A and B are shown apart, each in its own frame.
Chain A
Amino acid sequence: MSNEASIHGAGEHAAQREFELEVRAQDMEVNFGPQHPATHGVMRVLVRSDGEVVTGAQAHLGYLHRCAEKIGENVEWLMYLPYTDRYDYLSAMNNNLGYSMAVESLMGIRIPRRAELLRVICVELNRVGSHLIAFGTYGMDVGAMTPFFHCFREREWMMALFEKICGARLTYSYIRIGGLFNDAPPGWLEEVARFCDVFEERWVEYEQLLLSSHIFIQRTAGVGVLSREMALAFGVTGPMLRASGVDWDLRRDMPYSIYAEIFAAGAFKVPLGSGAKGKLGDCWDRTWVRVMEMRESIGIVRWCLAHMVEGPVVGDLPKVLRVPAGESYVAIENPRGELGHYVVSDGGRGSIRTRVRGPSFSNLAVIEELLPGALVGDAIAIIGSIDIVVGETDR
């Protein structure tokens, strides 16, 4: 597939695939899902298999469709914030940030420095938590049960930290338009520092237990190879794109919030897949990129802690939120890739159009390319390595 392949091209490809997938005598149609341990939510992948070999795959979405975008057009600006928690529920802080920044860019509010720093801390901790889930459940997908629990041990602490700062463990609504819900409670920043210390110690375990395990490498290296060209053609973003060798991270390349400053200070690098164990862009690379990103996120959190300032956490907001007429699109680097919020205001109390560009949705499209030819066990490994959150693909 060429670089120029557009959405239209992808559609053509799917149609062609449909033709190829005509059931042959010995083929078997198997539904992975909607209830299947490996679909990570309510998703269905229709797989045609010839014994153990997958000959075709089709993702069926929509089981979790909750009209998230339409709701955005029916509620006031601030009231939509809790809905953003719920599409990618593993990275609610990132969603909050994306939506808030889209609205803020219309309003032109200046965010206090302390709020920016706390925002980045929360967003990066949330990224760690999200990657922990991705890594842990990926271990389960390839049959290793234990890493999942080790990941949850750390994630539990992360969620406890969020509970302390905003009262919620999963759907935070902490990052608000104009700043934050409230300031961090006393001692919270110190505990975050402790979390960083402990996490960096335990981070080594993940590498030892799973990432460098011989069987894990056998299962993932060279499996589900997503070439650089294909990744670009499908609009793949996030760790998946970087695992395919494309050096693109919105935090560095289209910096928002205070990321430009953090990157300039050298607090984080962008890990890239290298095909170290198999081919560039295989499942192992994707897992490796996520594990490395966790450590980079901890580096960002440490930088923010070191440069923390005192001050307010909410900017100058009017009593009633009035957003000037206009439109804005803000894209941020969510744990899964580019999360874009497009909002249109007519100057009223709510948006007249809300549109979300979800990374899981775009990333998921590649399975129809990657699955054919793989074994059933590989198919699970590939779907898992994409790390989708079905709440966000369906919205």
Chain B
Amino acid sequence: MSTGEGNAFLDLLNAVLPASVPSWIVVPSAAVLAIAVCVALISVNTMFSVWLERKVAGHIQCRYGPMYTGWHGWLQSLADAVKLLVKEDIVPRGADRILFVLAPALALAGILGAMAAYPFAPHVFFADIDLGLFLILALSSVTTIGIVMAGWASNSKWSLLGAMREAAQVIAYEVPLGLALLVPVMIGGTLNLIEASRLQSDWFGMGWFVFKNPFALPALALFFTAALAETKRAPFDLPEAESELVAGFHTEYSGIRWSFFFMEEYTGMFLMSAIAAVFFLGGFESPLTWGLRQSLGEDPGFLNHVVRADGSTQTLIAIGGFVFQLVCALTLIVKTMLGVFLMMWLRWTLPRLRVDQVMTMGYKYLTPLALLCVLGGGLWEWARAGWGS
């Protein structure tokens, strides 16, 4: 679907730059701007998530977590980032140098590309992609190649075992992950994240897919479990199982390359939670956004195109629309971070499964259950569509 306004970054540049700037400059500039924002975003998200993880872990474990760098240690991640940046860059002897250097970049590139489909607000996004969900799932799988590559190139047995576990785990859990997502896709009839979110704006902003179909809630549980395995979070953190494999696939990495894997992990968590929020929990819709819609109109954008008397157009920022977009963005971020918090909570509570138990769970339980959900959800949607017509 088209949102009528196109890319927010392009719109912004068009509004800011004089009309004389040709489009072959504006369009690539918008792309560069979008990439810069995306990279900055995942860095900030990683730093915040690491800080949050440490605080969550601390409070679960009867301690405080970081306390000395800034208010409740909020600068801790920044200090860590600086430390990682200035650390010596080590490539172990015997490692496959090219693959070793390439692997973290590939892992991060996959997740960075997947971030392109993340919708901030109805009119603020990197790209309005009709196959958004498909793109996220496809590109986030690329990170697995990076991780397997890292494990292989490290020339370490721990890394190799970790990489093999990652490969086996991802293959086992991609299937239930995709199947569970078919249920909300069938409810909404779209793979577009922005449109899926907008479809949940009825029922006073509570028309979330998870309430619209009795099979959506089990599908959400299945999706969340599979997402934990996809993002290598406990109890499925086998690829980097600390007590077993030292640090798994990233045993030999240090410094900024190691932090790439960290960024990949936390962005992966963020994206998986975002998918859960968008496709099950109403996206950026809530009673608050519903109320704003009532006062501002159905689809308030944050830019107003004013046609002047001389025929030229001027683009102005609309305050109401801006507030609406902001509320939408915050709603989605809060929902996403709640999912991330849940992942952290589980990590610091549960023991780790064994490798055969992970496989058993994926193949024998999650996949058949996900298939059942697809069948039940599909029949329900079919019946509902039949009823309506």
Contacts and interface: CB of A to CB of B under 8 A. Distances in A.
A214 B381 CA distance: 35
B354 A145 contact: no
Contacts, number: 86
Contact of B244 (A144, A215, A218, A376): A376
Given A52-B161, A143-B243, A145-B57, A375 B63 contact: no
Interface in A136-171: 139-146, 148-150, 153
A347 interface: no
B62 A149 contact: yes
B354 A38 contact: no
A212 to B, nearest CB: 12
Contact of B354 (A51, A140, A219): A219
Interface in B349-389: 349-357
A145 B61 contact: yes
B246 A36 contact: yes
Interface in A17-55: 28, 30, 36-38, 51-52
A377 B351 contact: no
A210 interface: yes
B348 interface: yes
Chain A, interface residues (CB within 8 Å), range: 20 to 34
Contacts of A148: 61
Contacts of A38: 243-244
Contact of B351 (A28, A144, A149, A150): A144
Question: Which residue of B60, B237, B244 has the most chain A CB atoms within 10 A of its CB atom?
Answer: B244
B165 to A, nearest CB: 8
A215 B62 contact: no
Contacts of B245: 376
A378 interface: yes
B61 A143 contact: no
A378 B354 CA distance: 8
Given A143-B352, A144-B349, A146-B349, A377 B62 contact: no
A199 interface: no
A52 B164 CA distance: 10
B180 interface: no
A141 B351 CA distance: 9
Interface in B215-267: 234-235, 237-238, 241-246
Interface in B29-67: 57, 60-63
A145 B60 CA distance: 10
Nearest to A141: B243
Given A38-B243, A149-B61, A149-B63, A139 B351 contact: yes
B157 interface: yes
A143 B351 contact: yes
B239 to A, nearest CB: 12
Nearest to A35: B246
Question: Which residue of A213, A215, A216, A377 has the most chain B CB atoms within 10 A of its CB atom?
Answer: A377
A146 B243 contact: no
A142 B63 contact: no
A380 interface: yes
B354 A218 contact: yes
A68 B235 CA distance: 42
Contacts of B61: 145-146, 148-150
A142 B352 contact: yes
A148 B57 CA distance: 12
The SS class assigned to the A binding surface is: helix
Contact of A213 (B60, B242, B348, B350): B350
B348 A37 contact: no
A144 B62 contact: no
Chain B, interface residues (CB within 8 Å), range: 20 to 34
Interface string A195-238: 00000000000000110010110110000000000000000000
A375 B351 contact: no
Nearest to A140: B243
A1 B180 CA distance: 51
Nearest to B58: A149
A218 B243 contact: no
Interface string A365-395: 0000000000111101000100000000000
Contact of A143 (B60, B165, B241, B246): B241
A143 B237 contact: yes
B350 A218 contact: no
B9 to A, nearest CB: 41
Contacts of A142: 243, 351-352
A377 B241 contact: yes
B157 A375 contact: no
B57 A219 contact: no
A52 B358 CA distance: 13
Contact of A146 (B60, B238, B354): B60
Interface string A347-378: 00000000000000000000000000001111
A223 to B, nearest CB: 8
Nearest to A37: B243
A377 B348 contact: no
Contacts of A145: 57, 61, 347-348
B168 to A, nearest CB: 9
A105 B243 CA distance: 44
A377 B355 contact: yes
A375 B57 contact: no
A99 to B, nearest CB: 34
Contacts of B60: 146
Contacts of A210: 351
A74 B62 CA distance: 46
A377 B161 contact: no
Nearest to B238: A377
11 contacts: A38-B244, A143-B353, A145-B61, A146-B349, A209-B349, A213-B351, A215-B351, A216-B351, A375-B354, A375-B356, A376-B161
Given A143-B242, A215-B235, A376-B161, 17 more contacts: A28-B157, A30-B157, A37-B246, A141-B243, A142-B352, A144-B352, A148-B61, A149-B62, A149-B63, A209-B349, A216-B351, A218-B357, A219-B351, A376-B355, A377-B238, A377-B241, A378-B354
Interface of A: 28, 30, 36-38, 51-52, 139-146, 148-150, 153, 209-210, 213, 215-216, 218-219, 375-378, 380, 384
- Listed from nearest, the 8 A-B pairs whose CB atoms lie closest are A143-B352, A149-B61, A144-B351, A377-B354, A142-B351, A38-B243, A143-B351, A215-B351
